[in-house]
Structure 1
Amino acid sequence: MDCKELSAAYLTDDLVVEILSRLPFKSFSRFKCVCKAWLAFSSDPHYSQKLPKVTNGFFYQDRHNSAIQFVSLSEHARGFDGTLSFLPGYEHLEFVDCCNGLVLCEYRSNYTSRDIFRFIVCNPATQEWKILPDTQRKPDGFDYTTKLSFDPSRSPHSYVFNFHNERGPYNFTFGVTQVEIFSSCKSTWLVDKTLWDPKNNDLSVNGRPHVFIDGLLHVHTDRDVLVLDKLETGSMGIPLCNWTIMLPLHKNDCTVDHCVRGCLGQSSGILHYAVAEEDGCTILIWSHDYYDPYMWTITHRLNMKDAFGRDDFVHYEEGFIWACDYEIIALDLEREVIFLFDEKTNKLLSYGISTGKLSEIKDSPHWYFHYVPCYLKLPEPELVYDDVSGLFAAPL
């Protein structure tokens, strides 16, 4: 038999999965970062059960105690440093965000100037880290929402978006005045002010979970979803392309806080959105049609009455603002699970979409960040040519 016939191109999917299933998890995680076909096996219900299991879990941090903690959802987490103790000054880190295996923290101690942001991007699975160049805070009157974007199946480079939200009287947010963009490819911060419209701007990015799909950043605003495109050109100073997607069940009068309580997610490269109905007894999961920004299709109806064993989920603040007693923290649709935080019992919970079973993960009131590891090495920044020295060097 010709050796060429043994090429992976001639192997059936069943044989490829059988080979991959014999790999250590760390090796499988690296391989699927460079092969989209192998990555797709992870989300295929027929094959995913045979593949090495992921060591996913949740990062969290007590604001009264600077220690970063990790709660694992898998028995395969041995040797994983969830406290990020490999980072310099880890006792003074504030957890900011995570995305597809990378983690973003802000360094702040008693000696750190209040006029600067100092961010660190790290990979807890490989214990690699890089300190980003400092960037300036504005004077009082601004809130900041910072997002990390990374997709190992698309590029080894990551992006950090620091949205500047102007704050008015009574902490009312006027909107985004600008966004700072950091690219690990160029290792520099750039500013984009094209989101700001001084005549009509009430676009405000909030801290709800975001989604990074096929090079597109999807972030929650107070009304809908803001999509940012052309990140590669944005890292070169060219304004980002952007548009908005109207959320399903949007209420123009904002009497129902879908924008605050809903949660974005993705499955097989498709944007999803989960939100509780007005009585809180049912969670709807919607799938978005990429080619029609107004088209959403319901894929799941989840019965919370049976899961919690109660039906009193909502209360009204100040007589008219609706609020639900549980919050949707994260979606993991590829493993058919969503994660909730029950504010009545202060418990982090998992809900099996196919089983309808509610399980306790952690008993503590925190803000949790869902984390799935990635074993791809952090890349070095691109080298640029210096006309004066005649040498190639990393940008400052």
Structure 2
Amino acid sequence: MDLHKEVTAARLTDDLVVDILSRLTYKSFCRCKCAYKAWSAFSADPDYCKKLPKKVTTGLLYQGHNKSAIPLVSLSQDDGEIDGILSDVPQYEHLEFLDCCNGLVLCKYRSSYTSPGICRFVVCNPATREWRILPDTHVGTDSRRDATILAFDPSWSPHFYVFNFNQHYHSPMSKLEIFSDGSMWLVDDKWDSYVSVCWRSHLFLDGVLYAETTGQDVLVFGALKLMRDGKLPYHQIIEKPSDTFYVGTFTHGCFGKSLGNLHYAMPDVSGHSIVIWTLDEYAHDWYVKCHISMTDAFGRDDFVYYDNGGDGGDLHWFWNCDYWILALNLERDLVFLSDQKTNKLLSYNISTRELNEIRDHFEWFQYHVYVPCYSKLPAQESSV
């Protein structure tokens, strides 16, 4: 930094400097600290630290049952849990966390904040500190089960897509709304109510969305770029691996990807291993890629037990497993698990066979793998 710039910076008050720095991304903030060492001291000040950009790292995003803050559980033990990564979004304290996909986060404002019958979604990029509020959609007053999915892949397209499934409890009518940031909401008001989507398990790969249904099938959406011409994308249904049907009655599997391939993971009936299948996208058939030994991971083999499921039926009918598969990151050889016996959140490295504790207290939240994306959100296009 030359003398003139250094003298100019020295004339600014600390409050003003912090206000300017607070508008930067974390990466840009780090560059500024290197350029002018005096600014590094702001990070050590408790009051200023709350305003300055926070480190955004790879981890798991979640929100508690009380719909409070949306923290990031870092995979680095040095970082721990990071709060406030969505604090740049207007009225962020009213946000309900829905989904995360390749660095973008999807939330909606609670009905207590918006008008009755209004559903307002917002897509955020914590790494670039950008956000986009989507046009409001209208929901009915009758009870319904909504599943909302975010689809985004910067290596395929800079545009994101939001799928909102309105699934009525007591009516054969259902509705699918799809938003593209290059268009507006497109509505299919004759959506088959028997195709009910699970909110947990889905994946977006090479412009194709794969979502698990409650009927143990996989709903596939393709040709999303048709939406820019005002056309709904096509969809089809394929079966999950046949070996998952029994266990899949009692638990959810998990999608993953590696080397451009789609994978699906689920415990075997004994719980001794997690089976990873790979989809042959041309034949729409699955083949076994590998088995991941949970006996090696946990050092025991007593994972599965049976009960009546609380329905007063056969005592040995309901299948239970001591661990749940929360997320799959095969590109980093990681499986994220919850240990029901110890109530811990864990990561297992497939290559090194190391089982590490991420969080020592686990509750059944909606966890999503978050990897920062530094691509800017595309400019909002006119709806006219």
Residues 375 and 208 (structure 1 numbering): CA distance in 2 closer, same or farther, change over 3 Å?
Answer: same
The answer to whether the aligner puts 1:364 opposite 2:362 as a matched pair is yes
Q: Which residue is equivalent to 1:373?
A: 372
Segments of 5+ residues of structure 1 without an aligned counterpart are 1-24, 28-53, 169-173, 383-393
**Per-residue deviation, 1:263:** 0.4
Residues 111 and 82 (structure 1 numbering): CA distance in 2 closer, same or farther, change over 3 Å?
Answer: closer
2:293 and 2:85 mapped to 1: Cα distance?
36
Q: Which residue is equivalent to 2:199?
A: 207
Instruction: Report Cα offsets for 1:148-190 as digits up to 9, x if no partner.
Output: 000101111100000112213xxxxx7782210111112x211
Q: Is the 8 A contact 1:257 1:322 kept in 2?
A: no
Residues 235 and 175 (structure 1 numbering): CA distance in 2 closer, same or farther, change over 3 Å?
Answer: farther
2:134 and 2:267 mapped to 1: Cα distance?
38
**Per-residue deviation, 1:304:** 1.0
1:144 and 1:208 mapped to 2: Cα distance?
12
**Per-residue deviation, 1:338:** 0.8
Structure 1 residue runs of 4 or more that deviate by more than 6 Å after TM superposition: 75-78
1:336 and 1:86 mapped to 2: Cα distance?
32
Q: Which residue is equivalent to 1:395?
A: 383
**Per-residue deviation, 1:65:** 4.9
Q: Is the 8 A contact 1:348 1:361 kept in 2?
A: yes
**Matched letter for residue 374 of structure 1:** C
Q: Which residue is equivalent to 2:321?
A: 324
Q: Which residue is equivalent to 1:301?
A: 291
1:273 and 1:122 mapped to 2: Cα distance?
27
Aligned counterparts, 1:114-125, within 5 A: 114-125=116-127
**Matched letter for residue 377 of structure 2:** L
Q: Which residue is equivalent to 2:212?
A: 220
Q: Which residue is equivalent to 1:5?
A: none
Q: Given the two structures, how large is their TM-score scaled by the length of structure 2?
A: 0.77
**Per-residue deviation, 1:138:** 2.1
Instruction: Report Cα offsets for 1:52-110 as digits up to 9, x if no partner.
Output: xx9310111112251111111147979x8654111111111111101001000111263
Residues 243 and 175 (structure 1 numbering): CA distance in 2 closer, same or farther, change over 3 Å?
Answer: farther
**Out of 135, 138, 157, which is 1:136 matched to?**
138
**Matched letter for residue 162 of structure 1:** N
SS in structure 1 of the partner of residue 276 of structure 2: strand
Q: Given the two structures, how large is their TM-score scaled by the length of structure 1?
A: 0.75
Q: Is the 8 A contact 1:101 1:374 kept in 2?
A: yes
SS in structure 1 of the partner of residue 242 of structure 2: coil
1:376 and 1:113 mapped to 2: Cα distance?
33
**Matched letter for residue 290 of structure 2:** H
**Matched letter for residue 303 of structure 2:** F
Report the more deviating stretch, 97-106 or 232-241: 232-241
Aligned counterparts, 1:1-396, within 5 A: 55-74=57-76, 82-108=84-110, 110-168=112-170, 177-186=174-183, 188-193=184-189, 195-196=191-192, 202-222=194-214, 223-250=216-243, 255-257=246-248, 260-293=251-284, 295-314=285-304, 315-316=306-307, 317=309, 318=311, 319=314, 320-362=317-359, 363-365=361-363, 366-382=365-381, 394-395=382-383
Q: Is the 8 A contact 1:190 1:235 kept in 2?
A: no
Residues 334 and 376 (structure 1 numbering): CA distance in 2 closer, same or farther, change over 3 Å?
Answer: same
Residues 149 and 137 (structure 1 numbering): CA distance in 2 closer, same or farther, change over 3 Å?
Answer: same
| Higher RCO (CA 8 Å, separation ≥ 6 residues) | 1
**Could you tell me the percent identity over the aligned residues?**
50
Q: Is the 8 A contact 1:180 1:191 kept in 2?
A: yes
**Matched letter for residue 362 of structure 2:** S
SS in structure 1 of the partner of residue 197 of structure 2: coil
Q: Is the 8 A contact 1:92 1:109 kept in 2?
A: no
1:240 and 1:260 mapped to 2: Cα distance?
29
Q: Which residue is equivalent to 1:48?
A: none
**Matched letter for residue 300 of structure 2:** R
1:309 and 1:176 mapped to 2: Cα distance?
49
Segments of 5+ residues of structure 2 without an aligned counterpart are 1-25, 29-55
Residues 214 and 336 (structure 1 numbering): CA distance in 2 closer, same or farther, change over 3 Å?
Answer: same
